[in-house]
Structure 1
């Protein structure tokens, strides 16, 4: 089954009614005719549904669809992208463990990782994560390497294959956030990644109508290692499903950050058009990047598929169909950046990406406002920097709005 077909039919189960859209199960609990049946479900020895915080038929349908298009063994949906990141990490680490992470992460993710010191977990941030930089800091306490496929908003391209090799050689769990790239552009599991995360609020949903996240389990055998003693019983019982089994039985169930059935339904609707939308996002973003790169009022443009990008070679290796729908550019001063935003007519000033509509934000004063100046610079965030999430409108209308707003830049 090809990718676009999987978006519509992947792991699709039509119920006895014959409905072609997945039914919306707005129930927080499910009745059973026999006590033994519910006992088996709660023990995890039989399939079924008991309580929506744990599982729900609509949510399960969405999880199965994402696992299909991402090439994973299983997927676990969550209430938000941030909860997906938190649960994915806390499913692995314990007090005394270490994590190596990219410093070019989304501001909220950076802060989440930084705050793990409260749990006795050490996080080492590297400006660049690659084979050489990892070898200098990886040790017996390292349990996770965490990075984004494309940094947000740094737009640094991760060399997934080489990092996966180091992680495999050292029995370290490799977790990537692929929100920016989506399964349309890349399946990180094929390159050796163990766990893939998405904020489904972005491209997977596509219309900013719901919050959600998802964790995709690649079915790694690393959890059998004595290093991961907290996985012992799950590895013996569930084999390559150990990560998902533990996630659902422990931190996932305990925290209760479940995706609502209604949001799962909205995401299922959105994901069916992912390939169509991503093709247009990529085409439009490349056109805007070229337009900005020749405008004298623009100090610099950052988009990995521009030949001028220092990540161009890596982008060509991993993202032959386009480097997603986000670019950044600098206008020389915060005043210029604000003037540009304030004079846009169609493009919306919103703290989101991946919408069908074109969106813009000033990261330094918004999504990275709680980070220190040093942290902002590590993330590639400056006072004159703007992040543009290019939508799927007609490119002529996007460029007209950009060109008119640039007239108010000194």
Structure 2
């Protein structure tokens, strides 16, 4: 998967990983709706199960439709391989699974999607893992949080919900010094706006449910492997560097080199956790990715126009869009997201919680849903929904105060979006 021709993003988003179907000549990637695959003979089956040969065994592990999506995502992110799974939340667990163990910890940014904060602060405790939350703008605090039991560092490139941009270069410099992998959730940016591996990320994850699919139809997650981390440089990652009992003592890093994490994710992660992406979802996502660059350009253009209008409206306290010159993260856009600050941000409504509720109820074009990254413009009051499970302190740290509304700007006519917000603000604020 690493020997790809040097092609542009717009070409790769359509062609990477795909060729005409050899059996029928079908140009679009078929949906291989099958559970299993016929082996050539007993020796072929044995080699596949022993990881001596790459191929298709059972669709919990590998599927031709999903494999095309994996190759495409690796190409777009500049990685050596990828593992697709059922959801973005599944991708987070899959990414941590080979790295963590009882008593080990992950250092996570305070600016994360509320569901991720809950998964990290509550659910992973059941595995004996710990998450430590740090403001990643405070690099000294990040350095201080790392100890001998730290096994990974986790952040979002463009943080949900506020659209804050993480200085991935600064964070990766710290993780490199500590000999730790950096995991970057690139859902809100997509590889069109940001390629975290170029800034030092070890693994890149996505909720493909969002911008990659782009039409709000199916769920999916992916982990893209940079192939650049030395898993054998220390004894911190025995799942990848030490003998694996289930494969007769095979050492993943020694055997597969840069592809060690990818092979482990399939051969053990999908095998045992079963967080499999179904081929129909993969097909929808592949079709969505074909227009990713076109959509992201429009998302950014519209977000800039809507955010600018909101910032100048007297009924609005503030807007968090990093593409505004008033944003403290404006200078990071050119470095981290040179094609734009994305389509996600929040704004604070004068009148607080009650005004936010009235605003959401009054909007007509914006859909009130728990999703982002759709072609349609979406709105939600995060403090009472997606981030409801957080404490007040966590809400403020995540940028989800009671007076804050999150917008995911779609690709409609921006004047229509502004008109919709205008009438809703009038009803909300009097």
TM-score scaled by structure 1?
0.98
Contact 1:206 1:355 in 2 (8 A): yes
Aligned position for 1:256? 274
Distance (Å, rounded) in 2 between the aligned partners of 1:252 and 1:84: 11
Aligned position for 2:317? 299
Aligned position for 1:272? 290
Of 15, 28, 35, which residue of structure 2 is paired with 1:9? 15
Contact 1:281 1:324 in 2 (8 A): yes
1:243-270 residue CA offsets vs partner (Å, 9 max, x unmatched): 1122222232101010000000000100
Distance (Å, rounded) in 1 between the aligned partners of 2:118 and 2:338: 32
Contact 2:136 2:142 in 1 (8 A): no
Aligned position for 1:187? 195
Aligned position for 2:247? none
1:261-410 alignment, distance < 5 Å: 261-332=279-350, 333-410=352-429
Aligned position for 1:245? 263
Q: Are positions 1:231 and 2:240 aligned together?
A: yes
Distance (Å, rounded) in 2 between the aligned partners of 1:86 and 1:31: 31
Deviation at 1:39, TM superposition (A): 1.7
Stretch deviating more after TM superposition (269-278 or 317-326): 317-326
Deviation at 1:200, TM superposition (A): 0.4
- Structure 2 residue matching 1:243: 3-state secondary structure: helix
1:34-113 alignment, distance < 5 Å: 34-113=41-120
- Structure 1 residue matching 2:152: 3-state secondary structure: strand
- Structure 2 residue matching 1:299: 3-state secondary structure: strand
Distance (Å, rounded) in 1 between the aligned partners of 2:138 and 2:194: 19
Distance (Å, rounded) in 2 between the aligned partners of 1:77 and 1:195: 13
Distance (Å, rounded) in 2 between the aligned partners of 1:114 and 1:224: 29
1:91-170 alignment, distance < 5 Å: 91-115=98-122, 116-170=124-178
Contact 1:282 1:322 in 2 (8 A): yes
Contact 2:163 2:341 in 1 (8 A): no
Deviation at 1:114, TM superposition (A): 0.8
Stretch deviating more after TM superposition (356-365 or 213-222): 213-222
Distance (Å, rounded) in 2 between the aligned partners of 1:131 and 1:191: 16
Distance (Å, rounded) in 2 between the aligned partners of 1:374 and 1:367: 15
Stretch deviating more after TM superposition (162-171 or 248-257): 248-257
Aligned position for 1:23? 30
Distance (Å, rounded) in 1 between the aligned partners of 2:196 and 2:51: 29
Distance 1:47 1:230, change over 3 A: closer
Contact 1:205 1:271 in 2 (8 A): yes
1:174-195 residue CA offsets vs partner (Å, 9 max, x unmatched): 0010000000011111111000
Distance (Å, rounded) in 1 between the aligned partners of 2:203 and 2:229: 12
1:211-233 residue CA offsets vs partner (Å, 9 max, x unmatched): 00110000023211222222221
- Structure 1, unpaired ranges of 5+: none
- Structure 2, unpaired ranges of 5+: 1-6, 242-250
Contact 2:71 2:81 in 1 (8 A): yes
Q: Are positions 1:198 and 2:216 aligned together?
A: no
- Structure 1 residue matching 2:159: 3-state secondary structure: coil
Contact 1:328 1:385 in 2 (8 A): yes
TM-score scaled by structure 2?
0.93
The root-mean-square deviation of aligned C-alpha atoms, in Å, is 1.2
Q: How many residues align?
A: 410
Aligned position for 2:220? 212
Contact 2:88 2:222 in 1 (8 A): yes
